[in-house]
Amino acid sequence: MQLDMNKKKYIRLTISYLILAFMVCVIVYPLLWTIGASFNPGNSLISTSMIPQNPSLIHYQELFAGKPSLQYVQWYMNSIKISVFTMLGTLISVSFTAYAFSRFRFKGRKHGLTLFLLLQMIPQFSALIALFVLAQMLGMMNSHWLLIMLYIGGQIPMNTYLMKGYMDSIPIDLDESAKIDGASNTRIFLQIIMPLSKPMLAVVAMNGFTGPLGDFILASTILRTPESYTLPIGLFNLVNDVMGASYTTFAAGAILISIPVAIIFILLQKNFVSGLTAGGTKG
């Protein structure tokens, strides 16, 4: 019987490792292919391989050559600017909103949380016409600041729900003890709740930073001139007929955008893992 149990355990472990290996291949293979394509000369992916036979940095040099049709550095800086301000705005707005839902009881509280969840189910493109008209009415077409505000608004619902769940796990006794000592709600929020919420703040910061970096639909609706483009729009033009379908240069540009994401992850990694496993939602 012991032998049969060991055999079953071995089979389960084998199946688990096979599934994990398959998922790793699914995730890593496109990344390795993109890296290989970025070092392959030429513009077509058909003639490229995962391991370049004649690796070259020509595509990376093209990105920074300053061609009028390829303003990669400008697009890169635009994306970083929008991502950083979106991250900061999301952290501030989500922190205050989640604290209000977690620590205060008011009319419509539960309905507000439910509304936040429902808003996440609405596809982004369904509101594009309204956002386009709004941008024209405000005279903010081609404005990075309007795009930042829209991104922050889109980040609030789900991140608020996550942050509120994490704050619920912080004992309310700490608040009550601080109030006995004369602390105000603002002081409790800044000196007690925020330091204890660092793991979830790291998750919210990561979401706020990476969201704009990968968005194409909303950015292409608001931004109209090449000087204001973000990287997704600019890189899209590299594989469009306008710029000769340079797929390998596109691959090089896509690889470079992963650098700031990696830096943010390294800076937040101490709190990031624990934040992902916390924040179970509560009513």
Please write the tens of the pLDDT for every residue from 181-223: 888 888 888 888 888 888 889 889 998 999 898 888 889 889 9
57 band by pLDDT with thresholds 50, 70 and 90: confident
CA distance 207 to 86: 10
Residue 272: CB atoms within 10 Å: 18
- For the whole model, what pTM was predicted? 0.81
Alpha carbon separation from 94 to 19, 30, 152, 267 (Å, rounded): 36, 34, 9, 20
DSSP classification of residue 127: G
Q: Is 38 exposed, middle or buried (0-12, 13-18, 19+ CB in 10 A)?
A: buried
Tokens representing residue 113 in the block = 């949380």
pLDDT, tens only, 244-266: 567 778 888 888 888 888 888 88
273 band by pLDDT with thresholds 50, 70 and 90: low
CA distance 12 to 173: 44
CA distance 120 to 114: 10
Contact between residue 64 and residue 72 where contact means Cβ atoms under 8 Å apart: yes
Collect all residues with Cβ–Cβ distance below 8 Å to 96 and sequence separation of at least 6.
none
Residue 179: CB atoms within 10 Å: 13
Contact between residue 229 and residue 244 where contact means Cβ atoms under 8 Å apart: no
Among the ranges given (23-37, 135-149, 194-208), the one the predictor scored with the smallest mean pLDDT = 23-37
Alpha carbon separation from 225 to 12, 216, 222 (Å, rounded): 56, 14, 10
CA 84, 90, 93 angle in degrees (round to 5)? 140
Judged against a pLDDT cut of 80, whether residue 122 lies above it is answered with no
